[in-house]
Amino acid sequence: MNILLIGAGGREHALAWKISQSPLLETLYITPGNGGMDQCGTILEIDTANHQEIISFCQQNSIGLVVIGPEAPLVSGLADDLAKADIPCFGPSASAAALEGSKGFTKDICRDYNIPTASYGRFTDASSAKDYVAKEGAPIVIKADGLAAGKGVIMAETIEQANEAIDNIFSGAFGEAGAEIVIEETLIGEEASFFVLTDGKTCLPLATAQDHKRAYEGDEGPNTGGMGAYSPAPVMTEELIETTMKTIIEPTVKAMNDKGCPFKGVLYAGLMITEKGPELIEYNVRFGDPECQVLMMRLQSDIVPALKAVANETLDQISLEWKNEYALTVVMAAKGYPAAYQKGTEIEGLANINRMEDIEVFHAGTIRKNDKILANGGRVLNVTGIGKTVMEAQQKAYAALSQIRWNDGFYRNDIGWRAILLERKSQN
Ligand code: AMP
Ligand code: GLY
């Protein structure tokens, strides 16, 4: 089968790496790709916003499956257009992608289906939003309703910060995404990322993972897309997985069917494990980045039959095996990220890592120019190790990182710290 993969991040490099190992694959095409993905398939230059161009390419090249990595093409209806052209696709329709595209849409589903989540209000004008903040008090969470590249969430410590965030969003800080605001209670607990494949009928939970969202060590500093992740996440016990499936995932899949927009793809629940149990922070309609990197590293089974079964609605026939090991990935980002950063500086030393065992380097914001790898984004590389313990996976990842020479990059030195603390405790 020929497969077309859409995306350019570390998440898509990890998917490409895994798909390229499938005995079912003939040719993997990738667009737009990055500086590392040419090792897994053929890079194309198709404008992903031009759905007709993608459809024509698929028809001319007998594409048996399109895998859509990021949320933007999903929210803009690429899966719907591929379905109309009878091209099998892994990824939800635009109406189902509203689970990520509109935070208010998801919160209303939680309310209607009794899904545990933070209490909330939806607002389209500043004065009623501020009245709500005055009534609820601080700390409080202010969110732009739409897609804001992970930046549309403000954790306000004071009422003044909350009001400032409301004014910023309504004066256009996030464009159209900020036409509506969702205001939420602050949930307290440990976060976990939970992934489920679903074809709208069957739900197949994947391995668990935990992300480090803050830019600096000790989980301090601004929120980012994610500075590192590991899998499995010890916080997600079997019992919590079962509760999450029953109280969060299954009611959501039912809600989407009831609304006439069945969800087909990977549903990514951002959870807060509170004293009351798992509560939903938000949904994403795609794999997490960098969580996908550690999931792919641990997935023993061929991924292609599972992706195809989601597209064909035959997921009941699939089971997946996971390696009984820990995977851990460290993100190397450009200095300045998540604010402004430089592009175009050279990254050296990657060839040394190719020879290291139990290590994969997934590229994100890189380009290859005359056999050099140059930085081309905020999050640039994902150095991923696998080992018998989180500590071993971490040691391998940092040993590999020490081979990389890139003066304009930085990374956190403490990825995995919570799980390592638990490991140390259980050894004593
Ligand atoms: P989101 O984009 O909605 O996942 O939010 C980004 C991050 O903000 C989450 O991963 C949490 O760390 C934090 N966050 C969002 N909503 C809440 C909430 N209601 N309570 C506590 N933290 C939150
Ligand atoms: N790692 C968080 C995300 O993919 O949204």
The domains of the chain, with CATH numbers, are 2-97 (3.40.50.20), 125-179 (3.30.1490.20), 190-317 (3.30.470.20), 326-427 (3.90.600.10)
H/E run at residue 294: helix 291-298
* Contact status, residue 408 vs residue 335, Cβ threshold 8 Å: yes
153 CA → ligand 1 middle, Å:
7
Ligand 2 atom closest to 291 (CA): 1
Which of 115, 153, 283 for mutating ligand 1's site (highest number of atoms within 8 Å of CB)? Answer: 153
Quickly state the pLDDT bin for 287 (edges 50, 70, 90).
very high
- Mean per-residue pLDDT for 269-288? 96
305 φ, ψ (degrees, to nearest 5): -60, -35
Residues 60-76 pLDDT 10s: 999 999 999 999 999 99
Tabulate helix, strand, coil % of the chain (nearest 5): 35, 30, 40
Gap from CA of 192 to ligand 1 centroid (Å): 11
Average pLDDT score over residue span 379-406: 97
Least distant ligand from the CA of 151: 1
Q: Residue 400's pLDDT is what?
A: 97
Helices 126-136 and 159-170 sit at what angle, rounded to 10 degrees?
Answer: 160
Please return the burial class of 254, using the count of CB atoms within 10 Å of its CB with bins 0-12, 13-18 and 19+: middle
Q: At 268, which amino acid appears?
A: Y
From ligand 2's centre to the CA of 290, what distance in Å?
7
Q: Which is the closest atom of ligand 1 to the Cα of 284?
A: 4
- Residue among 186, 144, 149, 185 nearest 165 (CA): 144
The residue ranking higher by pLDDT, 352 or 299, is 299
Contact present, 218 and 211 (Cβ < 8 Å): no
pLDDT for the residue 253: 98
Q: Which runs of consecutive H residues, i.e. helices, occur in 236-277? A: 238-244, 250-258
pLDDT (mean) for 366-370: 95
At 344 the pLDDT is 96
**Angle between helix 291-298 and 10-19 (nearest 10):** 20
Strands 409-410 and 326-334, how do they pair? antiparallel
Q: How far is the CA of 360 from the centre of ligand 1 (A)?
A: 29
Tell me the C-alpha distance between 397 and 387, whole Å: 10
Centroid of ligand 2 to alpha carbon of 225 (angstroms): 5
Closest ligand to the CA of 209: 2
Alpha-carbon distance 236 to 244, whole Å? 10
Does the model's pTM come out above 0.85?
yes
The amino acid occupying position 163 is: N
Q: How confident is the model at residue 220 (pLDDT cuts 50, 70, 90)?
A: very high
The pLDDT-based confidence of 309 (bands split at 50, 70, 90) is very high
- What does the mean pLDDT of the chain come to? 96
Closest CA relative to residue 393, chosen from 251, 209, 263, 265: 209
Residue 89: Cβ within 10 Å count: 27
6 vs 29: CA distance, rounded Å: 9
* Span from the CA of 379 to the centroid of ligand 1 (angstroms): 20
223-271 pLDDT, tens digit each? 899 999 999 998 899 999 999 999 999 999 999 999 999 999 999 999 9
Q: Is the Cβ–Cβ distance between 285 and 268 less than 8 Å?
A: yes
Q: What is the pLDDT of residue 151?
A: 78
How far is the centre of ligand 1, averaged over its atoms, from the C-alpha of 104 (Å)? 14
Check pLDDT > 90 for residue 354: no
Among 377, 384, 372, 312, residue whose Cα is nearest residue 348: 372
- Residue 284 has φ and ψ, to the nearest 5°, of -120, 155
Which residue is it, tokens 């028809």? 59
Please give all residues whose beta carbon lies within 6 A of any atom in ligand 1, as ranges. 118, 141, 150, 153, 184, 186-187, 191, 213, 223, 270, 281-282
pLDDT of residue 104: 96
Residue identifier of the C-alpha nearest atom 1 of ligand 1: 282
Q: What does 55-110 look like in DSSP terms, one character per residue?
A: HHHHHHTTEEEEEE-SHHHHHTTHHHHHHHTT--EES--TTTTHHHH-HHHHHHHH
Two structure tokens written together for 71: 């949320």
Nearest to 222 by CA among 288, 164, 151: 151
Confidence of residue 149 (pLDDT cuts 50, 70, 90): confident
Ligand nearest to the CA of 107: 1
**DSSP assigned state of 245:** I
